[in-house]
Structure 1
Amino acid sequence: MILSRRPDIERFLKTPDPAIRVAVIYGRDVGVVRERAQALAAAVTDRPDDPFDCALLTEADIDGEVGKLEGELQAISMMGGRRLVRLRLGEKAAVDRAASEALAAHAAGDFNPDAFFLIEGGALGRDSQVRKVGEKIQGVVVIPCYEDEPGDLARLTREALAADKVGIETDALDLFVSRLPRERGVARSEIERLALFLGPGSGRVARAADLEDFLGVEPEASLLDAAQDAFGGRLGAAHAGLRRAAQEGEGGPAAVRAMGMHLAKLRRTLTLHQAGAGLQEAAKASGVFWKAEREFLRQARSWSLKDLDGVQADILAADLACKQSGSPDRLISERLALMIAGRARRLGL
């Protein structure tokens, strides 16, 4: 069984199906994989860190010694609770094959039926035996972990800050999320740092202006600013912003996503305006950052919904192209910025 929708995954991590004996959690983002594995480990056993209840194995532990993995799956908890066996896979095909064989045998009940087998992997390809076997047989759940989207990071930020009894305004949240790295573990560290900056338990609500010193990054270096420059017809500034973002570790897919987010704000603003809202009021409702409002309104007066429909198709095509293996994603994002800026100039911007 494959779980890919966030609500289904969260429901399973909170209350695992008793019929499931094996879980495979994998993905490029190690932080998300580790976080979900920890949540599942805590749900299946009362003492996930107790060496009498839990065995933690790495690829090196079973490379050439498969019997060690089978022995751990056959063992019974000394303390009487449910036994947990965790295996962290690497990249060796032999270990992947051995793990898949142990997975199938344990799901069939050949080892301790009360033990739970948790496999954590990186970006397992379609040729991974663990994936192939796990996705087909009963008693196994496979959870792929994808890169966090801005909406996921926004939700994560709000929930974490609320737990520390502090908050953040919408404009500030947009700004903060736009600067967060996509790796979950690093993003969580940044969110915790923000909570400390605001003062846990203080009830303080961060505004966009409060974050300027905290972020420590010039707004012009933001991918969102590069997207705004492209839609404003300023190609040179857009490309400069993209280059700075690349130096900060943001690749082409993130740049394309930023341009899609800017288009979405323009579309929402124009739709609300057509429904009778004032243009400035519509921009605020669309989450436009207050410092960018003047430039955004200038663009909203020139772009039409029909014009945006044409750009939307190009953004979707660029997004798909960036996700292909070996694609020149930085060049794709720069070409997209060139195309958008050219259309903006033709609109008089």
Structure 2
Amino acid sequence: MAQLKAHEVDAWLARQSAGTSIVLVYGPDRGLVSERATKFAEKAGVDLNDPFSVARLDAADLDKMPGRLLDEANTIPMFSGKRLLWVRNAQAQKSLAEDMKALCAAPPADAVVVIEAGDLKKGTALRSVVEAARSAMALPCYADDARAMDGIIDDELRNAGLSIDQDARALLRRNLGGDRLASRGEVAKLALFAMGRGSIALEDVRALTGDASATSADEAVDAVLAGDLSAFDTAFTRQALGTSQAYTVLSGLQRQLLSLQVMRAAMESTGATAGSAVAAARPPVFFARRKLVEAALERWNSRTLAEFLDRVQQTVLETRRRPDLAIALAHETLTRIAIAAKRGR
């Protein structure tokens, strides 16, 4: 079977042999798909800047012209020893899968084929053809994990001659993900901002990275827990005026209350302190929020947390029944909980 596990792909690309002439790079992370396809192409022995040696094709066009990929692959190069066929935007095109089946059965002698595809499910014709071939390789690309994120951060900052504080790294890692190229772009932007200063601090990351709407929702939830009515109004208004719905804040608070319930139950059953409960939480509480969470645990018992959670769940239901009043309903419920926090209930 010509396929790798997701965690094996980078190692294979580093040592890839010249014997593999057909590669399918697929997955939901389009930035990672593009980056890995480029890495493979750079080692194909072809000048990527030579238009006579590289044919860049779109899968949608190939689907309209069955057999074209075969013709391109079997064309004898006139100005170089080898040609690279680079196909982008592949999905479940039937004719492309048929052409690939023929190519895998008789690999081209003078061409290398790399295909960038989306999230192909197991059993999809194109993926099945490549995975079953001896002369081809399928490379899955999924969202980066924490180790991969650290690698991206280290690569970009090393090239810029910068270091990063541990707290800043933790927040930056939290703000990245979903798309490899977008993540690299965020780190590169941060490196440019901090150029000449030697090190990146927590405030730099807060100022330069992260999604604005997500940040507003997180700030609104934290302000509710802290009982900071002014900060809540500011963050909630920014959220409500953005592209996201008020439900984002309700959902964020709902998740936080569920997490608090688990930690508070552990405190009440074992006699543990709020600090111990937070330290033992899984997934871990983000370092910058630990004092806030500890204060909430000390302020509210399990019964109160259950009451708040029930109120939030009822509000979610009401916003679905009356979407025209969603912002007002959410604001009222969240304000009531923030007032309870401020009074130390």
TM-score of the two chains, using structure 2 as the length reference: 0.65
CA RMSD after TM alignment: 5.0
8 Å CA contact retained: 2:73, 2:110:
no
> Which residue type is aligned with residue 21 of structure 1?
S
TM-score of the two chains, using structure 1 as the length reference: 0.64
Q: Secondary structure at the match of 1:11?
A: helix
Measure how far apart 1:172 and its partner are: 1.3
Find out whether 1:103 has 2:94 as its counterpart. Answer: no
8 Å CA contact retained: 2:9, 2:140:
no
1:77 match:
77
Q: CA 1:29–1:217 in 2, change beyond 3 Å: closer, same or farther?
A: closer
Unaligned ranges ≥5, structure 2? 267-274, 303-329
Q: CA 1:60–1:82 in 2, change beyond 3 Å: closer, same or farther?
A: same
Alignment of 1:183-262 (within 5 A): 183-199=179-195, 202=196, 204-215=198-209, 221=215, 247=243
Counterparts of 1:57 and 1:219, CA distance in 2: 37
Counterparts of 2:11 and 2:184, CA distance in 1: 21
> Which residue type is aligned with residue 182 of structure 1?
G
Q: CA 1:122–1:136 in 2, change beyond 3 Å: closer, same or farther?
A: same
1:36 match:
36
> Which residue type is aligned with residue 36 of structure 2?
R
User: Which of 141, 147, 156 is residue 143 of structure 2 equivalent to?
Assistant: 147
Q: CA 1:137–1:14 in 2, change beyond 3 Å: closer, same or farther?
A: same
Measure how far apart 1:71 and its partner are: 1.6
Measure how far apart 1:193 and its partner are: 1.1
2:3 match:
2
8 Å CA contact retained: 1:178, 1:224:
no
8 Å CA contact retained: 1:16, 1:44:
no
Measure how far apart 1:49 and its partner are: 3.0
8 Å CA contact retained: 1:106, 1:113:
no
Measure how far apart 1:75 and its partner are: 2.3
Greater C-alpha radius of gyration: 2
Measure how far apart 1:302 and its partner are: 8.9
8 Å CA contact retained: 2:46, 2:83:
no
CA deviation string 1:304-334 (max 9, x = no partner): xxx9xxxxxxxxxxxxxxxxxxxxxxxxxx9
> Which residue type is aligned with residue 21 of structure 2?
R
Identity of aligned residues (%): 25
Q: Secondary structure at the match of 2:161?
A: coil
1:88 match:
88
8 Å CA contact retained: 1:54, 1:83:
yes
Find out whether 1:288 has 2:287 as its counterpart. Answer: yes
Q: Secondary structure at the match of 2:64?
A: coil
2:314 match:
none
CA deviation string 1:79-119 (max 9, x = no partner): 4443221112445x5xx2222222222223x3523422111
Q: How many residues align?
A: 298
2:159 match:
163
Shifted more, 183-192 versus 28-37: the winner is 183-192
Counterparts of 1:106 and 1:135, CA distance in 2: 13
Q: CA 1:147–1:211 in 2, change beyond 3 Å: closer, same or farther?
A: closer
2:19 match:
19
Q: CA 1:198–1:81 in 2, change beyond 3 Å: closer, same or farther?
A: farther
Counterparts of 2:152 and 2:85, CA distance in 1: 29
Measure how far apart 1:219 and its partner are: 10
1:45 match:
45
Counterparts of 2:206 and 2:159, CA distance in 1: 23
> Which residue type is aligned with residue 186 of structure 1?
A
Counterparts of 1:215 and 1:153, CA distance in 2: 14
CA deviation string 1:212-262 (max 9, x = no partner): 43348779936665776899899xx7x969x6799469x98xx88xx69x9
Counterparts of 1:180 and 1:188, CA distance in 2: 9
Measure how far apart 1:162 and its partner are: 1.6
Counterparts of 1:57 and 1:213, CA distance in 2: 40
8 Å CA contact retained: 1:84, 1:117:
yes
Counterparts of 2:242 and 2:5, CA distance in 1: 30
